[in-house]
Chains A and B, each alone.
Chain A
Amino acid sequence: MNRALFFALVLLGLVACEPTTLVFENQVPGVTIENMRWTTSNQTYQSPDRLLPGQASAEIDVGLDDEGRRGRVTFEVDLNGRRVALEAEAPLKVPAEGQTRFVLTPDTPVRHPLLQEAPMALWAAPE
Protein backbone atom coordinates (compact mmCIF):
# COMPACT_ATOMS: atom_id res chain seq x y z
CA MET A 1 0.00 0.00 0.00
CA ASN A 2 2.77 2.37 0.90
CA ARG A 3 4.55 1.50 -2.34
CA ALA A 4 1.39 2.18 -4.37
CA LEU A 5 0.93 5.50 -2.61
CA PHE A 6 4.56 6.35 -3.31
CA PHE A 7 4.21 5.69 -7.04
CA ALA A 8 0.96 7.64 -7.14
CA LEU A 9 2.67 10.60 -5.52
CA VAL A 10 5.60 10.33 -7.93
CA LEU A 11 3.23 10.20 -10.89
CA LEU A 12 1.31 13.17 -9.55
CA GLY A 13 4.57 15.04 -9.15
CA LEU A 14 5.62 14.29 -12.70
CA VAL A 15 2.30 15.53 -14.05
CA ALA A 16 2.47 18.62 -11.87
CA CYS A 17 5.99 19.38 -13.16
CA GLU A 18 5.10 19.06 -16.84
CA PRO A 19 7.31 21.61 -18.56
CA THR A 20 5.91 24.58 -20.40
CA THR A 21 7.01 24.42 -24.01
CA LEU A 22 6.41 26.19 -27.27
CA VAL A 23 6.38 24.69 -30.77
CA PHE A 24 6.24 26.49 -34.13
CA GLU A 25 4.61 24.73 -37.06
CA ASN A 26 4.64 25.69 -40.75
CA GLN A 27 1.45 24.90 -42.66
CA VAL A 28 2.07 27.33 -45.52
CA PRO A 29 2.59 25.47 -48.81
CA GLY A 30 5.71 26.27 -50.78
CA VAL A 31 7.55 28.45 -48.26
CA THR A 32 10.18 28.04 -45.61
CA ILE A 33 9.86 29.64 -42.19
CA GLU A 34 12.99 30.72 -40.32
CA ASN A 35 14.08 32.70 -37.27
CA MET A 36 10.87 32.10 -35.35
CA ARG A 37 10.82 34.08 -32.13
CA TRP A 38 8.45 34.55 -29.23
CA THR A 39 9.26 37.73 -27.34
CA THR A 40 7.79 38.54 -23.95
CA SER A 41 8.51 41.48 -21.71
CA ASN A 42 11.20 39.30 -20.12
CA GLN A 43 13.10 37.70 -22.96
CA THR A 44 13.06 36.25 -26.46
CA TYR A 45 12.73 32.55 -27.22
CA GLN A 46 14.07 31.56 -30.63
CA SER A 47 13.84 28.35 -32.60
CA PRO A 48 16.99 27.43 -34.54
CA ASP A 49 14.98 25.30 -36.92
CA ARG A 50 14.24 25.98 -40.55
CA LEU A 51 10.75 24.70 -41.23
CA LEU A 52 9.61 23.31 -44.55
CA PRO A 53 5.88 23.07 -45.21
CA GLY A 54 4.30 20.60 -42.81
CA GLN A 55 7.21 20.60 -40.38
CA ALA A 56 7.19 21.57 -36.72
CA SER A 57 10.08 22.88 -34.65
CA ALA A 58 11.62 21.17 -31.68
CA GLU A 59 10.05 22.08 -28.36
CA ILE A 60 11.33 25.28 -26.78
CA ASP A 61 11.31 25.35 -22.99
CA VAL A 62 9.59 28.40 -21.57
CA GLY A 63 10.84 29.84 -18.27
CA LEU A 64 8.67 30.05 -15.19
CA ASP A 65 8.60 33.83 -15.40
CA ASP A 66 6.98 33.71 -18.82
CA GLU A 67 4.34 31.09 -18.15
CA GLY A 68 0.95 32.62 -18.77
CA ARG A 69 2.44 35.69 -20.46
CA ARG A 70 1.65 37.07 -23.88
CA GLY A 71 4.40 37.73 -26.36
CA ARG A 72 5.01 38.79 -29.95
CA VAL A 73 5.58 36.08 -32.54
CA THR A 74 7.97 37.07 -35.32
CA PHE A 75 9.40 35.01 -38.16
CA GLU A 76 10.83 35.20 -41.66
CA VAL A 77 9.06 33.81 -44.69
CA ASP A 78 11.27 32.63 -47.54
CA LEU A 79 9.78 32.05 -50.97
CA ASN A 80 12.25 31.02 -53.67
CA GLY A 81 15.01 33.02 -52.06
CA ARG A 82 12.90 36.15 -51.55
CA ARG A 83 12.02 36.70 -47.93
CA VAL A 84 10.14 39.00 -45.63
CA ALA A 85 10.18 39.39 -41.86
CA LEU A 86 6.69 39.40 -40.41
CA GLU A 87 4.95 39.57 -37.07
CA ALA A 88 1.76 37.74 -36.14
CA GLU A 89 -1.02 40.24 -35.61
CA ALA A 90 -2.21 38.62 -32.40
CA PRO A 91 0.15 38.16 -29.46
CA LEU A 92 0.60 34.57 -28.36
CA LYS A 93 -0.15 33.51 -24.79
CA VAL A 94 1.70 30.47 -23.49
CA PRO A 95 -0.23 28.94 -20.59
CA ALA A 96 1.65 27.34 -17.72
CA GLU A 97 2.48 23.66 -18.16
CA GLY A 98 2.04 21.75 -21.35
CA GLN A 99 2.80 22.47 -24.97
CA THR A 100 1.61 25.53 -26.85
CA ARG A 101 1.71 25.23 -30.63
CA PHE A 102 1.85 28.23 -32.96
CA VAL A 103 0.64 27.07 -36.37
CA LEU A 104 1.36 29.41 -39.27
CA THR A 105 -1.13 29.12 -42.14
CA PRO A 106 -1.76 31.23 -45.25
CA ASP A 107 -4.65 32.88 -43.42
CA THR A 108 -2.65 33.90 -40.35
CA PRO A 109 -3.08 37.68 -39.87
CA VAL A 110 0.32 39.33 -39.95
CA ARG A 111 1.89 42.74 -40.22
CA HIS A 112 5.23 44.11 -41.24
CA PRO A 113 6.76 46.01 -38.33
CA LEU A 114 8.56 48.48 -40.58
CA LEU A 115 5.48 49.35 -42.58
CA GLN A 116 3.43 49.79 -39.42
CA GLU A 117 5.85 51.88 -37.44
CA ALA A 118 7.74 53.97 -39.97
CA PRO A 119 5.92 53.95 -43.28
CA MET A 120 7.61 57.08 -44.59
CA ALA A 121 10.97 55.33 -44.43
CA LEU A 122 10.05 53.30 -47.48
CA TRP A 123 9.21 56.22 -49.71
CA ALA A 124 12.17 56.13 -52.02
CA ALA A 125 11.09 58.83 -54.39
CA PRO A 126 8.67 61.73 -54.23
CA GLU A 127 5.30 61.25 -55.86
Chain B
Amino acid sequence: MGPPPTPSEAVTANPDERQVDTLLLTLDLRVPAGLEGPLGAHADASVDPAHVVAVALEVDGQPWGRFAVAPQAASAPPVAGWRLLPEPRSLLLVAHLTDDVALVESPPDDVRAWLSVLDRTLAAGDHVARVAEVILEDAGGRRVALSFSHWLPFHVARGDASAHVGALTLTAHGLDAAEVIP
Protein backbone atom coordinates (compact mmCIF):
# COMPACT_ATOMS: atom_id res chain seq x y z
CA MET B 1 0.00 0.00 0.00
CA GLY B 2 1.34 3.41 -0.91
CA PRO B 3 1.59 6.41 1.36
CA PRO B 4 -1.66 8.00 2.50
CA PRO B 5 -2.82 11.06 0.56
CA THR B 6 -1.34 14.36 1.56
CA PRO B 7 -3.65 17.24 2.45
CA SER B 8 -3.06 18.84 -0.95
CA GLU B 9 -4.19 15.64 -2.63
CA ALA B 10 -7.25 15.22 -0.48
CA VAL B 11 -9.27 17.62 -2.58
CA THR B 12 -11.96 16.57 -4.98
CA ALA B 13 -13.32 18.74 -7.78
CA ASN B 14 -16.88 19.88 -7.92
CA PRO B 15 -18.73 16.96 -9.54
CA ASP B 16 -21.19 19.39 -11.10
CA GLU B 17 -18.48 21.04 -13.14
CA ARG B 18 -18.62 19.65 -16.65
CA GLN B 19 -15.51 19.03 -18.67
CA VAL B 20 -15.06 18.38 -22.34
CA ASP B 21 -14.86 14.71 -23.21
CA THR B 22 -16.14 14.83 -26.79
CA LEU B 23 -14.66 16.56 -29.80
CA LEU B 24 -16.46 17.29 -33.05
CA LEU B 25 -14.56 17.64 -36.30
CA THR B 26 -15.46 17.71 -39.95
CA LEU B 27 -12.93 16.31 -42.37
CA ASP B 28 -12.65 16.70 -46.14
CA LEU B 29 -9.97 14.76 -48.03
CA ARG B 30 -9.09 16.49 -51.30
CA VAL B 31 -7.26 14.95 -54.22
CA PRO B 32 -5.68 17.67 -56.37
CA ALA B 33 -5.56 17.38 -60.12
CA GLY B 34 -2.24 16.74 -61.76
CA LEU B 35 -0.97 14.01 -59.50
CA GLU B 36 0.91 11.20 -61.11
CA GLY B 37 -1.08 8.04 -61.47
CA PRO B 38 -4.70 7.38 -62.38
CA LEU B 39 -6.17 9.64 -59.68
CA GLY B 40 -4.23 12.68 -60.79
CA ALA B 41 -5.70 12.51 -64.25
CA HIS B 42 -8.97 13.85 -62.86
CA ALA B 43 -9.96 17.34 -61.85
CA ASP B 44 -9.85 18.41 -58.19
CA ALA B 45 -12.01 16.03 -56.23
CA SER B 46 -12.86 14.81 -52.75
CA VAL B 47 -12.34 11.30 -51.53
CA ASP B 48 -15.70 9.73 -50.82
CA PRO B 49 -16.05 9.72 -47.00
CA ALA B 50 -17.20 6.11 -47.31
CA HIS B 51 -13.54 5.16 -47.76
CA VAL B 52 -12.59 6.47 -44.31
CA VAL B 53 -12.57 3.69 -41.75
CA ALA B 54 -10.55 5.18 -38.87
CA VAL B 55 -8.90 8.41 -37.79
CA ALA B 56 -6.18 8.97 -35.22
CA LEU B 57 -6.45 12.27 -33.39
CA GLU B 58 -3.89 14.09 -31.28
CA VAL B 59 -4.78 16.89 -28.88
CA ASP B 60 -2.05 19.06 -27.40
CA GLY B 61 0.53 16.64 -28.71
CA GLN B 62 -0.96 13.62 -26.99
CA PRO B 63 -2.73 10.76 -28.76
CA TRP B 64 -6.42 11.02 -28.18
CA GLY B 65 -7.28 7.58 -29.31
CA ARG B 66 -8.22 6.16 -32.64
CA PHE B 67 -11.89 6.10 -33.33
CA ALA B 68 -13.79 4.23 -35.94
CA VAL B 69 -16.16 5.82 -38.41
CA ALA B 70 -19.64 4.55 -39.04
CA PRO B 71 -20.01 2.94 -42.47
CA GLN B 72 -21.39 5.21 -45.16
CA ALA B 73 -23.12 4.48 -48.41
CA ALA B 74 -20.89 4.49 -51.46
CA SER B 75 -21.84 7.20 -53.91
CA ALA B 76 -19.68 6.98 -57.03
CA PRO B 77 -18.08 4.34 -59.20
CA PRO B 78 -14.48 3.67 -58.18
CA VAL B 79 -11.49 4.82 -60.23
CA ALA B 80 -8.41 2.76 -59.53
CA GLY B 81 -10.18 1.54 -56.41
CA TRP B 82 -11.18 5.00 -55.12
CA ARG B 83 -14.47 6.83 -55.39
CA LEU B 84 -13.92 10.53 -56.05
CA LEU B 85 -16.54 13.23 -55.78
CA PRO B 86 -16.41 16.49 -57.73
CA GLU B 87 -17.85 18.47 -54.82
CA PRO B 88 -16.42 18.59 -51.31
CA ARG B 89 -18.17 16.24 -48.96
CA SER B 90 -17.21 16.40 -45.34
CA LEU B 91 -17.13 13.56 -42.88
CA LEU B 92 -18.34 14.28 -39.36
CA LEU B 93 -16.12 12.78 -36.71
CA VAL B 94 -17.28 12.47 -33.13
CA ALA B 95 -14.30 11.68 -30.96
CA HIS B 96 -15.09 10.54 -27.46
CA LEU B 97 -12.00 10.97 -25.41
CA THR B 98 -12.37 7.62 -23.76
CA ASP B 99 -11.34 5.02 -26.27
CA ASP B 100 -13.89 2.24 -25.77
CA VAL B 101 -12.17 -0.05 -28.23
CA ALA B 102 -8.88 0.20 -26.36
CA LEU B 103 -10.72 -0.40 -23.09
CA VAL B 104 -12.20 -3.60 -24.44
CA GLU B 105 -8.97 -4.84 -25.92
CA SER B 106 -6.91 -4.08 -22.86
CA PRO B 107 -8.99 -3.15 -19.82
CA PRO B 108 -7.14 -1.37 -17.02
CA ASP B 109 -6.40 -3.78 -14.22
CA ASP B 110 -5.92 -1.53 -11.23
CA VAL B 111 -7.38 1.66 -9.80
CA ARG B 112 -4.45 3.81 -10.92
CA ALA B 113 -4.90 2.76 -14.55
CA TRP B 114 -8.60 3.56 -14.39
CA LEU B 115 -7.83 7.01 -13.06
CA SER B 116 -5.76 7.74 -16.14
CA VAL B 117 -8.85 6.87 -18.20
CA LEU B 118 -11.13 9.07 -16.12
CA ASP B 119 -8.65 11.94 -16.20
CA ARG B 120 -8.75 12.29 -19.98
CA THR B 121 -10.71 15.51 -20.21
CA LEU B 122 -9.90 18.93 -21.55
CA ALA B 123 -9.77 21.89 -19.24
CA ALA B 124 -11.17 25.23 -20.30
CA GLY B 125 -8.80 27.22 -22.48
CA ASP B 126 -6.94 26.96 -25.76
CA HIS B 127 -5.92 23.65 -27.29
CA VAL B 128 -4.65 22.35 -30.58
CA ALA B 129 -5.70 19.22 -32.43
CA ARG B 130 -4.06 17.27 -35.21
CA VAL B 131 -5.48 14.56 -37.39
CA ALA B 132 -2.36 12.43 -37.32
CA GLU B 133 -3.53 9.57 -39.47
CA VAL B 134 -6.46 8.64 -41.65
CA ILE B 135 -7.02 5.05 -42.65
CA LEU B 136 -8.85 4.50 -45.90
CA GLU B 137 -10.14 1.34 -47.47
CA ASP B 138 -10.44 1.15 -51.23
CA ALA B 139 -13.13 -0.63 -53.19
CA GLY B 140 -11.08 -3.81 -53.16
CA GLY B 141 -10.76 -3.90 -49.37
CA ARG B 142 -7.14 -2.74 -49.36
CA ARG B 143 -6.39 -0.40 -46.45
CA VAL B 144 -3.92 2.45 -46.62
CA ALA B 145 -2.77 4.92 -43.98
CA LEU B 146 -2.20 8.62 -44.72
CA SER B 147 -0.25 10.79 -42.30
CA PHE B 148 -0.79 14.50 -41.84
CA SER B 149 0.75 17.31 -39.85
CA HIS B 150 -1.88 20.06 -39.91
CA TRP B 151 -2.59 21.59 -36.53
CA LEU B 152 -6.00 22.99 -35.74
CA PRO B 153 -6.32 25.36 -32.77
CA PHE B 154 -9.59 25.37 -30.88
CA HIS B 155 -10.98 26.81 -27.68
CA VAL B 156 -12.86 25.12 -24.86
CA ALA B 157 -15.25 27.32 -22.93
CA ARG B 158 -15.74 26.75 -19.24
CA GLY B 159 -18.71 24.51 -18.54
CA ASP B 160 -18.82 22.93 -22.00
CA ALA B 161 -19.10 19.17 -22.35
CA SER B 162 -18.05 19.04 -26.00
CA ALA B 163 -15.97 21.18 -28.31
CA HIS B 164 -16.08 21.83 -32.04
CA VAL B 165 -12.54 21.58 -33.32
CA GLY B 166 -13.41 22.89 -36.74
CA ALA B 167 -13.56 21.95 -40.41
CA LEU B 168 -10.36 20.45 -41.71
CA THR B 169 -9.47 20.02 -45.38
CA LEU B 170 -6.56 17.68 -45.99
CA THR B 171 -4.88 16.99 -49.30
CA ALA B 172 -4.52 13.29 -49.95
CA HIS B 173 -1.17 13.41 -51.71
CA GLY B 174 0.14 10.06 -52.75
CA LEU B 175 -3.07 8.17 -52.31
CA ASP B 176 -1.98 5.86 -55.12
CA ALA B 177 1.31 5.05 -53.47
CA ALA B 178 0.21 5.24 -49.84
CA GLU B 179 1.50 2.70 -47.39
CA VAL B 180 -0.64 -0.40 -47.50
CA ILE B 181 -1.72 -1.80 -44.15
CA PRO B 182 -1.09 -5.51 -44.14
The docked-state distance in angstroms from the alpha carbon of A35 to that of B103 is: 23
The number of chain A residues touching the other chain, given as a range, is: 35 or more
Assess the B70–A125 pair: CB atoms within 8 A: yes
Assess the B107–A81 pair: CB atoms within 8 A: no
Identify A81's interface contact among B10, B16, B69, B111, CB under 8 A. Answer: B16
Identify B107's interface contact among A29, A54, A116, A125, CB under 8 A. Answer: A116
Q: Could you say which of A3-11, A36-44, A57-65, A105-113 contacts chain B?
A: A105-113
Q: Is the interface of B mostly helix, strand, loop or mixed?
A: loop
Chain A residues near B103 (CB-CB < 8 A): 112, 115, 122
- Chain B nearest CB from A35 CB (Å) reads 14
The docked-state distance in angstroms from the alpha carbon of A81 to that of B71 is: 33
**10 A-B pairs with least C-beta separation:** A29-B9, A106-B112, A29-B5, A53-B5, A79-B118, A125-B68, A80-B13, A81-B15, A53-B10, A115-B107
Starting from the known contacts A110-B110, A123-B101, 6 additional A-B residue pairs (CB-CB under 8 Å) come to A31-B115, A52-B12, A80-B12, A82-B118, A105-B1, A112-B103
